[in-house]
Structure 1
Amino acid sequence: MLTTTDREGLIRVLKARQTAQDAIHDFFRSRDYLSLDTPIAVKSPGTEVHLGYFATDWHDFRGDETRLYLRSSPELHLKQALALGLERVYHLGKCFRNHGELADWHHPEFTMLEFYQNGISLADFMTLTAELVQSVAVGLQSAGFVVRMPKVKPDRLSMFEAFSRWAGIELVDGDPDLARKGLLKGFPSLRVDDDFETAYFKILLDVIEPRLKEEEAVFLYDYPASQCALARVANGRAQRFELYLQGVELCNAFDELLDPAANRERIRSSNEQREKLGHGAVPEDEDFFAALEQKLKPCSGNALGFDRLLALLLGEKNLDRVVPFRWNKPWSRVIR
C-alpha cells in the first residue's frame, strides 16, 4: 500500500521523466536531428557477446512460427536510416536485456537514448554528449527540480592511461600475462589462468571503476582493439568512448565501423563466442548488411541510458525511484 509520501514522490518522478524527455527532444531538434521509431520485436536483437535477449514467437494465420526478439538497442535500424541518406538521427524508447542482474543500475526493461551523426569526430561527439547532459540538467532545474549539476567539461582519459594511473599496469592488448601482472599488484579477484579479456574486465571492474567514482565526470576513450565491437579501429585502438558520471557508466559511443564485410565478420565472430560461452548464436540482420552496401558515410553513434541519467541528475543512489511502476511484478524491489 503506497503512502501519501510515496505517491507524491512517484508523481514527482513521472513529471521529472517528462521534463527530461522534453529537454532531449528540444536539444536534438535544435540541431536538426530526426527522431525515429524503430521496431521493438526484431529478428536480430543485437550483436553483443555477453548480452541476453528476450525471445518470443510470432504465429501467422497458417500456424507457421517465426522466432522474434525484443530489441536490446535500436542501433542496427538507426544505421539503416543513415544509409538511406539521413545525416542525424536519434531514438528515445524502451529496450530489453535478459539474463542480467537486478541491481542498482541495471533493469531488464529500460529507456535508451541512441543518436547518430554523420561527419563528426569522436572528440566533437564527446563535446556534443556533454552538452546534451548539461541541457537535460538545466531543463530539470528550470522546471523546479533539485538537480546535481554535472561538470560542463568532463575530463578525458584513455583506457590505457587509466590502467597506468590507477592499476599501475601498462595495458597491452591481448597480453597473456595481464592476470599475473594484476596478481603481483595484489588484485584478489584475478586467477593466474584468466585469459586477457577476463583479466581486463576484472581489473576494470575492481580497480578502474572504483577510482572513477572519485571523479565527477570522465570520458574514457581509446579502448584495446579486441574490445572494438562495431567500432572502427585506428592505430591499434578501438575508436570508442564511455562517459562515467559520478562513477556510473552512462553511455557507450563508437566511431562506427563502415565496411560491410568487416561488420559481417565481427558479428559472426561475436556469434561464435556466444556459442562457446553457451549463450547461443542470434540471427544476423540481412537488412542491416544490405544497408551497409549503400556506402554508409563516416559517422559516430552513442547509446545513453536515460534512466541512469535521470537518477544521477536527481541525486538518486539507484534506479528504484526513477523507473515508473518498478514496484510491480515481475521484477520489483523495495523502494528505499
Structure 2
Amino acid sequence: MELTDQEKTRRENLAKIRELGIEPYPAALFPVTHLATEITEQVELDAEGEVTNLQEVALAGRIMSQRIMGKAAFANLQDSSGRIQLYVSRDDIAPGEDKTMYNTVFKKLVDLGDFIGVKGFVFKTRTGEISVHVKEFTFLGKSLRPLPVPREDKEGNIHDEFKNPELRYRMRYVDLTVNPKVKEVFRKRSRLITAMRQFLDDLGLMEVETPVLQPIHGGAAARPFKTHHNTLDVPMYLRIANELYLKRLIIGGFDGVYEFAKIFRNEGMDRTHNPEFTMVEFYVAYKDYNWMMDTCEQLLEHAVKAVNGGTTTKVTIGENEVDFKGPYRRLSMADAIREHTGENIDGVDEAELRAIADRLDVHVDKTMGRGKIIDEIFGETVEAKLIQPTFITDYPVEMSPLTKKHRSKEGLVERFELIVNGKELANAYSELNDPIDQRERFEEQLELGKRGDEEAMALDEDFLRALEYGMPPTAGIGIGIDRLVMLLTGQRTIQEVLFFPQMKPEK
C-alpha cells in the first residue's frame, strides 16, 4: 500500500496522539445536545445582540477548516445538519500549566476531516457570526485520508472541487461530506417515500414483503440475474418484479397490499437505468385501471406536495415546468401514435407494422413480435414529447401478458403507463384474473423466447395454480421511485439519486 505524504503525516499524527495517552477512536458515547442548525435556529439575542440562551451545548462532527491565531483559533465544525463556527482558546481547553491539549493536540495533531466532540456555550462574534466558544474538546475519530476540501486562491480560482461524477458516485461518502447539497436530494427521496407510504396506509392497504430470490423470473419483460442455491441445488433469480407474489396475496384474501421493493434487471446502464432500482407496487381488489388512474393522480399530487414542503405540485425540470396536480391527460396508445406520426396502428398485422416502422425510421429486428414493434414505434416517436403527466392507455394485447383484455375494444388490454417529462414513470393494469387466458398469454411469451427475445416472460405454473383458485377483479400499479426522485430534484441521471449506483470495476 503506497501512501501519499499527507497520508503518512496523518498516520504519524495518529501515533503521536496515542503516545500522549489519548484514544483517537474512543468507545464511549459522546452526549450530543444540539445540531449545528438547531443552534442557529434556537439562539436568542437581547437588545445589545448578546446571546441569552444556549449556555451549555455539546456538538460532534468533522473539522472542515482551521485558522490558528496564536493562543486562539477558529474552526468550522460540520455535522449532519450543516456547519457552525467554533472558537477555541488555549486557556479554556488547557486551563492548567500543561498546554499540550492546545499547543500540540489541537494546533498540530488535529487534521481536516477529523471527528471531534466539543462542549461550550454559544455567543455572537464581532462580525455577527453565531459561534460556539469551546470549553472542552474530545477526539472521536481520526481521518487518515485528506478530504478534497474546495479552496479559492487570490485570483478567485477554485481548487480541489470534488465534481468528477466517476469519483463522486464511487466514493459517495466523500461526496456527501464535501458537497453538502447532495444530501438534500436524498432527504427529498426519504420524504417522498414517507409521504407515499402514508397515503397508501391511509388508503387502507397493508405493507408486505415478498421474495427477492425467486425460482422463476416472472412479472415483467426483462433479463434476470441468475444465481444458484447450493442446498436445494436449483437455479435462482433476483426478482425482476414482485407482481406475481403480490397477486398471490390478493388471491389469499387481502383486499389491498403494497411493497417498496428492490428490483434487479440484468440490462444496460445509462443515465436513466441502473441494474438495481426501487419500485413501489400496490394491488387493490375490486378495482380497475380507471380507478387506478384517479388514485395515481391523488398519490402523486400528495407526495409531490410533501416533498415541496406542502406548498406546490409544480417542479422545474431543465427548461420545463411540470405540474403534478390532477387530472392528467388520458390518451390511448394508438391515438398518441396517430397524433404524433399520422400513422394508424389499429388492427394492422405484424408485416404492416414493420412497414410503418420503416417509414418512421424506427429500427426493429426479426426477434420482435407485434407488441415489441408497437412499443418501439411509441418509444421512438412519441414518448419524449410527453412532458406534462400523461396517461397512455389501452395497449395492444401482445404487449401486456398479465393484463385483462379490454371490455369494449377488441385486441387491446386495460393498461396504462404514466409518462412524465418524456419518460415512463408508472405502469398499471386491470389485472388478468382468467387462468385459462393467462396460460395462453404465457405460452405466447414462450414462443417469443424461442424467437430470441431475451426479455420474454417465463411460464410460472405455481402462479397459474394460484389463479385457478380464483382472484377477484384487481387493479395494480408499479411506480419507479428513482425516476420520480429524479423529476422532483431536477437530476438528469439516475446515479444522482442512488446512494451507491452500480459502477464499472475500479482500475
- Do these two structures clear the TM 0.5 threshold for a shared fold by scoring above it? yes
- Which residue of structure 1 aligns with residue 182 of structure 2? 10
Q: Aligned residue for 1:165?
A: 339
Asked whether the 8 Å contact 2:223–2:454 carries over to 1, the reply is: yes
| Helix, strand or coil at the partner of 1:56 | strand
Q: Give the aligned partner of residue 491 of structure 2.
A: 316
Q: Which residue of 2 aligns with 1:270?
A: 445
Whether contact under 8 Å (1:35, 1:89) holds in the other structure is: yes
**Equivalent of 1:152 in 302, 321, 326:** 326
| Contact 2:288–2:475 (CA under 8 A) maintained in structure 1 | yes
How has the CA–CA distance of structure 1 residues 331 and 122 changed in structure 2, closer, same or farther, with 3 Å as cutoff?
A: farther
The answer to whether structure 1 residue 106 and structure 2 residue 277 are counterparts is: no
2:479 to 294, 304, 314: 304
2:229 to 58, 67, 72: 58
| Cα offset, 1:191, TM superposition | 6.9
Decide which moves more: 9-18 or 218-227. 9-18
Post-superposition Cα deviations, 1:95-132, rounded to whole Å, max 9, x if no partner, equal: 1000x221121110000110111122321210101111
**Change in 2 beyond 3 A, CA 1:280/1:146:** closer
Equivalent residue pairs, number: 322
Change (3 A) 1:169 1:280: closer
SS at match of 1:204: helix
For structure 1, the 5+ residue unaligned runs are: none
CA contact (8 A) 2:445 2:457 kept: no
Instruction: Identify if the C-alpha distance between structure 1 residues 11 and 269 changes in structure 2 by more than 3 Å, giving closer, same or farther.
Output: same
Select 1:292's aligned residue among 458, 467, 472.
Answer: 467
Name the SS for the 1:95 alignment partner: strand
Measure, in 2, the Cα distance between the counterparts of 1:15 and 1:129: 23
Distance in structure 2 (CA, Å) of the matches to 1:20 and 1:192: 40
Instruction: Report the TM-score, using the length of structure 2 for normalisation.
Output: 0.59
SS in 2 for 1:77: helix
For residue 93 of structure 1, report the CA deviation from its aligned partner.
1.7
> Are 1:82 and 2:253 an aligned pair?
no
User: Where do residues 1-336 of structure 1 align in structure 2 (5 Å cutoff)?
Assistant: 2=174, 7-49=179-221, 51-60=222-231, 64-98=232-266, 100-142=267-309, 148=315, 149-175=323-349, 176-184=351-359, 187-190=360-363, 196-197=370-371, 199-212=373-386, 215-234=387-406, 235-236=409-410, 237-277=412-452, 279=454, 284-326=459-501, 329-330=503-504
How far has the Cα of 1:139 moved from its partner?
A: 1.3
CA gap 1:198/1:325 in 2 versus in 1, 3 angstroms: closer
Using the size of structure 1 for normalisation, the TM-score is: 0.87
The alpha-carbon distance between structure 1 residues 6 and 311, as it changes in their structure 2 partners (threshold 3 A), is farther
* Distance (whole Å) between structure 2 residues aligned to residue 146 and residue 220 of structure 1: 21
- Give me the whole-angstrom Cα distance separating, in 2, the residues matched to 1:26 and 1:268: 39
Match of 1:277, SS state, is coil
Structure 1 CA distance for aligned equivalents of residues 398 and 458 of structure 2: 22
Q: CA deviation at 1:195?
A: 6.5
Distance in 2 separating the partners of 1:80 and 1:325: 32
Q: Aligned letter for 1:52?
A: R
CA RMSD in angstroms comes to: 2.7
Distance 1:146 1:78, change over 3 A: closer
Structure 2 alignment gaps of length 5 or more: 1-166, 168-173, 316-322
> How much has 1:325 moved relative to structure 2?
1.5
Q: Distance in 2 between matches of 1:253 and 1:245?
A: 15
1:165-215 per-position Cα deviation (integer Å, ceiling 9, x unaligned): 11101112442223324544xx22347988644542332122111322xx3
Contact 1:179 1:192 in 2 (8 A): no
Distance in 1, Cα, partners of 2:297 & 2:404: 22
Whichever residue aligns with residue 97 of structure 1, its letter is: R
**Matches of 1:112 and 1:232 in 2, distance apart?**
22
Deviations 1:37-61 (A, max 9, x none): 0000011121445x1101111111x
Structure 1 residues 17, 295: CA separation in 2 closer, same or farther (over 3 Å shift)? same
8 Å contact 2:384–2:421 — kept in the other structure? no
- 3-state SS of 2:382 partner: helix
Offset of residue 271 of structure 1: 2.4
SS at match of 2:330: strand
Cα distance in structure 2, aligned partners of 1:282 and 1:204: 21
Question: What SS does the corresponding residue of 2:441 show, helix, strand or coil?
Answer: helix
Q: Which has the larger radius of gyration?
A: 2
Measured after TM superposition, the shift of residue 317 of structure 1 is 1.7
Give the letter for the 1:38 counterpart.
T
> What is the SS of the residue equivalent to 1:152?
coil
Q: Which amino acid aligns with 1:89?
A: V
Write the letter of the residue equivalent to 2:499. Answer: P
Read off the aligned partner of 1:189 and give its amino acid letter.
V
